[in-house]
Amino acid sequence: MTRPIRNSRRQFLAKTGNIIAAGSLAAMLPSLARAQAKPLTVGFLYTGVRQDYGWNQAHGVAARQIARLDGVKLLEQENVPETAESEKVMESMIRLDGVKVLFPTSFGFWPFIMKTAPKFPEVLFVHAGGLWKDGDPKNTIGYRGYMEEPHYLCGVTAGRMSKTGKIGFIGAKPLFFIFNNCNGFVLGARSVNPKITCQVVITGDWNNPVKEAEAVNSLVDQGVDVIVGNCDSPKVVIETAERRGIYSCGYHTDLSALAPKGFLTGAEWNWGRGAEFVRAWQTQGPYPNLLRGGFKRDMVKLSPFGAAVPEAVRAEVLRARQAFADDKLALYRGPLKDNEGNVILKAGESIDNEDNKFKLGVKFLVEGAIGKTGLAR
């Protein structure tokens, strides 16, 4: 069930104020056990509409998976701002609707989770950011996928399908994970076509359809014939590419329906892993407070191939996917230079795919990318 923020929630909070939930999780176990006979209510908070062909929709897919679990009832709230208002929404979902597991699905909700979680030790808070650290409340979880790995596979596909030897990447913000995704895309393409180049455009906005369409058109006019967009919703990127007659790769969720002719494949989150946390909370079983990873930990997915992708290319991409899963393929491996000629890795050197510290420090674009990060190294 999806519904807007109700006035009754605000009225309730105004009357009750910030009531601190008493007792520890251990003290709550008898009541939790009794609750097994009735559905466990799971709540999802979205920053926009669920069906956005992007970030929110990827979480909506996970919500539907979780809703199919035995003994689970789903409650959803759309258009929740990343402000103190989200704290009020979380508290009212707990108090009024009996939510026992909350999925606040955006980075900006984390500070408000940190304020809310200690008040409700009987509630599990699952955040899509992988920001959890020692000392944070034990009834919170951070999880996130390493999306540079499926972007690498998109790059392999693009490298095989491009006829001009020019591909394009449109990013929203100059942030480390955007650059990691871009580097994955470029490295994948150059693994099968070492001469290919990638034009990089940073729009400066998470959601700006006008800028995104302009970026696609500009890149196509420069000869780019495969493109991927890293913004909140790549819908406009995919649709504009389709109208211009070039190939595209998706991001966040399966976007193949938007481009029947030109869609190749896409990089998807596997937020459905959250079902394991829900089940653990139901059964009072163990759960990790922090889960990050790529194909090896089943945290990311590859979209279905589009009709244009030949069988030989599909097989090559799937072999690379299995190599990631088996920990036999390092995305960052030497010899490797950035696009300014600086040595990143020497021959024989590589970075572990789960080296989060390295990834957090990525402020460069790899050789073959045309563009600048705007960040000092």
Domain residue ranges in the chain: 2-145, 148-268+300-370
What is the average per-residue pLDDT within 104-116? Answer: 97
Assess whether pLDDT exceeds 80 at residue 200. yes
- What element of type H or E holds 75? strand 72-77
Pick the residue with more confidence: 175 or 20? 175
Same fold, 2-145 and 148-268+300-370: yes
pLDDT in tens, 1-11: 554 444 444 34
- What element of type H or E holds 41? strand 40-45
Assess whether pLDDT exceeds 90 at residue 15. no
Assess whether pLDDT exceeds 90 at residue 131. yes
The per-residue pLDDT for 10 is 37
pLDDT in tens, 280-301: 999 999 999 999 999 999 999 9
- Phi then psi dihedrals of residue 44, to 5 deg: -120, 135
The per-residue pLDDT for 376 is 67
pLDDT in tens, 170-196: 999 999 999 999 999 999 999 999 999
CATH 3.40.50.2300 fits 148-268+300-370, yes or no: yes
State the residue for tokens 């211009």: 244
- Dihedral sign for Cα atoms in the order 47, 50, 56, 61: positive
And the tokens for 356? 């989060």
Rounded Cα–Cα distance for residues 119 and 122 (Å): 9
Percent of the chain with pLDDT over 70: 90
pTM: 0.89
CATH 3.40.50.2300 fits 2-145, yes or no: yes
Phi-psi region of 310 (alpha: psi -120 to 50; beta: other; left: phi over 0): beta
Confidence of residue 339 (pLDDT cuts 50, 70, 90): very high
